[in-house]
Structure formats: C-alpha cells, structure tokens
Structure 1
Amino acid sequence: MSKAYHRKKQPEAVRQQLLEVAAKLSLEKGPGSVTLDAVSQAAGVSKGGLLHHFPNKLSLMDGLFDDLTAKFDRALAERMTADPEPHGRFTRAYLSACFDAQDEQERDGWMVLTTALLSEPHLRERMRRWTEDRLTRHVGTDSSPDAVLARCAIDGLWLADLLGAPVLEPMQRQVLREKLIALTHS
C-alpha cells in the first residue's frame, strides 16, 4: 500500500487561486502577460488543471467576470435587504457597495476586468447585459434622473479610483457619499 501523500482536491479553491493569479499577473506585467502557461506556472497548477477550469484565456476572463459580478450581486442584495425604503433602494445599495469596496484582491480583479472590457467586445456585451438586467429589475424604483445621476457619479469615481486618479480625502468622500445618497430619496 502506498503511503504517498495525496492532496485533497479542492476545485473551487484552485479555481479562485487561478483567477487571483491571472489578475495579479495582469496588474504587475500587463494584460499580455496573462497566458495559460504563465497562469498555471505562477499558480503552481498543471496546465491540465488550469484547462479543466478554463479552456482558454477568454474563459479565464469570463470566470473573473462571473466571480466579481456574483460578489457584487451579493453585496447589493445584502444592502437592499437592510434598506426599508423601496424608492431608490437599488441605487443606494449600488452606491454603498461601490463606496465600501475595500477588498484588495477584488479591487485588483475589477482593474483587470476593466482593462479587458475596453478591448474585448464579448466582455463589454456581458457587462452591458448585466447592467441592463439590474436596471430593468429596478426600473419602478430607481429610474429617476437623480438616481441615474447618482449611479453615473459613482461609476466615474469608481473608475477614477481604479485608474489611480487623485484620491479624494476621506471627508470629501463622505460628503460626496451623503449627497449622492440624498439624490436617491428625491
């Protein structure tokens, strides 16, 4: 009987590790550095193991998209559940989730995905559909011009943060947050 050590298979942990490594490679060395060989090597996973989860680079980016939007959807749902006022609830949840995003790995993932969105039509279409779906669901409560303005403002701040534009001081951020939240109540 062999006494060789056998690692317990943890496919979700391996999948998450591959996504994190791909994001890290892209941030450190640029999107062109994200090859299946480079990701599998940096993750310490065989190429076959990577191909089991992601058969090509586009599926890796799709996996990153799915992972990030699922986390964002959970954050939105938590905030909406805690908000007793229906009018503007989705927009307030959206604002809060964007303002509160602190997880470095998640932020790195969004930075990589944003770069990919600019160059990959397939991912842009997925993002458009994801956004359209959420706005359609909440059209009755969150379609006022003020709600649209608030969401566009936070999208701009979010993009500026991802691109490393000059950062607002904490007090300025808080004032901006309060003003945008106030728009959702009108």
Structure 2
Amino acid sequence: MSKAHHRPKDPAALRQQLLDSAAQIIATRGLPALTLDKVVKESGISKGGLQHHFATRQALIDGVFETLQDQMRAEIDQEMAREPQAQGRATRAYIRACARLMPDHEQEMNRALMAAMMADPYLRDQWAEFINQLPQDPGDEAISRQRLLCRLAADGMWFAALCGYHTQAPEQRRWIVERLLELAERVK
C-alpha cells in the first residue's frame, strides 16, 4: 500500500501542504512555472486531492495570494496588539509590517505574486480591496493625509526591497522607519 492510504485525513493540513508546495514553486521558479502537475509532484498529494481543494491553477494562485494577505493581516494585527499608544496604532503597525526585512524565500514569492498582480486585473483588484480594508486610524483631515503619506512610503520600502533598488544600510533603514513612525503620530 502507498503512503497515501496510511496518511490520516486532515483536509486543512492537506490544503496547507498544497499551498506551501505552490508557494515553493512560485518562489523558486516563478509564477509561470506553476502547474497542477508540479504541485502534485512537489506535495506528494494525488491529483484528485489537489483538485478537491483547488479545481484550477487560478484557484491555486488565488489560494496562495489569499495566504499572503492573511499573513500580512495577522502581522499587522500582532503589531497593533503590541502598540501601547492608540493614536496612530494602525498606521505604525502597517509601517512595521511593510518595512521589516523579508527572508529570501518570502521575498522571491512576494516578487512573483506582485508581478502576477501587475499583469492580472483580478489579482490587482483583490489586492486593492485587501489594502483598503486594513485598519485605519481615526483623525482629522491633516493627520489622515499624513498617515496616508506614511503608508505610501512604507509601500515604497516594501516594493523597493522586492525589486532590489534603493537599498539602505541598516542604520539608514532604521532612521527612515523611525521618522515614518513619528509622522504617524503627529501633524507638523
């Protein structure tokens, strides 16, 4: 008997294993290399098991994209929970999530997914909806504009890291992040 017959059935774990395998393929070989057959081979799960969770390649891409969103949202929520000061909390959490240094594997996957997003209006709309639904800080018009500036700068840091340009020495990066965190709290 094969291992599949002895493997306990855990649909959530199987789904996650498929997503992890797809993410690994995307990170190491790029999104165009992602096929259902490669995910079957990488995961060791049968084609039927894959198609039970993800009927199409697009459904699999959507699943990986949703996982990225879930991870970012969880990171922002954790950062917000650590913030003692309420004013500007959501913006500072967003800055920290975007400005943290990513491991190479995560960076490669995010790079491939962002490239796909730029080419695919559906994924672009999904990302825009996700970003627009993240927690915002209340405030008057002036502070809201300033916090938006901080978020846009954090987006730029994240995107620049993915593209490998505007690299900064660690002390310079810390200085930039600290200035953005300060700006999220007060109006000049």
Interval of TM-score (by shorter of Structure 1 and Structure 2): 0.7 to 0.9
Once the two structures are overlaid, the 10-residue window that deviates more, 4-13 or 91-100, is: 4-13
Structure 2 counterpart SS, 1:9: coil
Match of 1:185 in 2: 185
Once the two structures are overlaid, the 10-residue window that deviates more, 147-156 or 71-80, is: 71-80
Match of 1:82 in 2: 82
Alignment check: 8 A CA contact 2:98 2:154 kept: yes
Once the two structures are overlaid, the 10-residue window that deviates more, 21-30 or 92-101, is: 21-30
Match of 1:13 in 2: 13
Match of 1:149 in 2: 149
Structure 1: which 5+ runs fail to align? none
Percent pairwise identity: 35
Q: Which amino acid aligns with 1:176?
A: I
TM-score by length of 1: 0.85
Structure 2 counterpart SS, 1:86: coil
Q: CA RMSD in A?
A: 2.3
**1:84-99 residue pairs with structure 2 within 5 A?**
84-99=84-99
Shift of 1:105: 4.7
1:59-117 deviation line (CA, Å, top 9, x unaligned): 11111122111121111112212223222111100011122354555444322321221
Structure 1: 4+ residue segments shifted above 6 A: none
Shift of 1:58: 1.3
1:14-63 deviation line (CA, Å, top 9, x unaligned): 32222232223233333221111122122222111111111111111111
Output the CA distance in 2 between the equivalents of 1:12 and 1:111: 26
Structure 2: which 5+ runs fail to align? none
Alignment check: 8 A CA contact 1:20 1:109 kept: no
Alignment check: 8 A CA contact 2:40 2:46 kept: yes
Once the two structures are overlaid, the 10-residue window that deviates more, 125-134 or 107-116, is: 107-116
Match of 1:64 in 2: 64
1:143-185 deviation line (CA, Å, top 9, x unaligned): 6222111111111110111122253111111011101111101
Aligned pair count reads 182
TM-score by length of 2: 0.85
Distance 1:148 1:106, change over 3 A: same
Alignment check: 8 A CA contact 1:161 1:167 kept: yes
Q: Which amino acid aligns with 2:30?
A: G
Alignment check: 8 A CA contact 1:40 1:47 kept: yes
